[in-house]
Structure formats: C-alpha cells, structure tokens
Amino acid sequence: NDAGEIDIFRNVGLDPVFFGQSLAGSLMPNLVYMLGFKDMAARDESWQRFSSDPDWAVLRKNTRYADTVSTITDIILSPSPVSQI
C-alpha cells in the first residue's frame, strides 16, 4: 500500500494480516482491515495510539478516503484450532 496507513498501523503496534476494499454492498465505499492482537488490552492500546497519531490525522483528511473513515464497524474474530492465520 502506498497511501501510508500500513506504515502507521505498524508504527503504533497494529499487526496487519489483510487489507481490502469492498466491491459490493450497502456500506460502500469502505476499506477492510484484518489485524492481529495478543489480547483485547493490546488491541485497545494500539487503536488509541493509532487514533491519536499525527500522521493518521493528516492522512484521514485525504480526499482519497472520502466517506471511508467516518464509520468503524468492529468484528472480533478468534482463530479456530485449524486456522493458518
């Protein structure tokens, strides 16, 4: 990704697994991030660092992200015993 959010994610402790963009659906446009965390406390701390990161404050105002960073939907997943992720 050349936009910069992956670098910000890594700098604040967010572990990227997958990034994508929706091709269809009622929530378009939207970006999808799958991230890994040691536990929920680590998740909360990393998101707090991300939301207050000065580089993110600049990036989120980029017109490329219009209407994609205004709403966050969290889905918390846990890997099954046979998961390769």
Summarize pLDDT for 4-48 with one digit per residue, the tens.
888 999 999 898 888 888 888 887 777 788 888 889 999 999 999
Q: Which residues pair with 15 in a beta bridge?
A: 36
Provide the Cα torsion 68, 24, 84, 36; round to 10°: 10
Residue 67 has pLDDT above 70, yes or no: no
Residue 78 has pLDDT above 90, yes or no: no
> Do the Cβ atoms of 14 and 7 come closer than 8 Å?
no
**Amino acid 2: pLDDT:** 61
What is the Cα–Cα distance from 40 to 60, expressed in whole angstroms?
Answer: 25
Residue 1 has pLDDT above 80, yes or no: no
Task: Quickly state the pLDDT bin for 72 (edges 50, 70, 90).
Answer: confident
